[in-house]
Amino acid sequence: MLVQGTNMFLLHQRLKHIKFRLKDWNRNEFGCIFRAKKEVEKKLQGINQFLILDGFTKEMKVQADCLQ
């Protein structure tokens, strides 16, 4: 694909292409970070409820610290 035009137009086209490639890389490399964050928060909430209801255990405290 050969794009022709002014230097500014060519720069604009290259930047659009880089933006597209970076978004694609980000999606493939990291996935949906917002979904992952919600999953971690849900696990942490479950551990906190366990600690409140069943009492403190060192294993659960370590898991909670790791998730935070």
Same domain, 2 and 24: yes
Average pLDDT per consecutive 10 residues, the chain (68 residues; last block may be shorter): 80 95 92 88 86 79 80
Quote the CA–CA distance of 22 and 40 in Å, as a whole number: 26
Q: What is the pLDDT of residue 38?
A: 92
68 and 37, same domain (yes or no): yes
Q: What is the pTM of this model?
A: 0.51
CA angle 43, 49, 54 (to 5 degrees): 125
Give the chain's domain count.
2
Full residue range of the structural domain in which residue 25 is found: 1-31
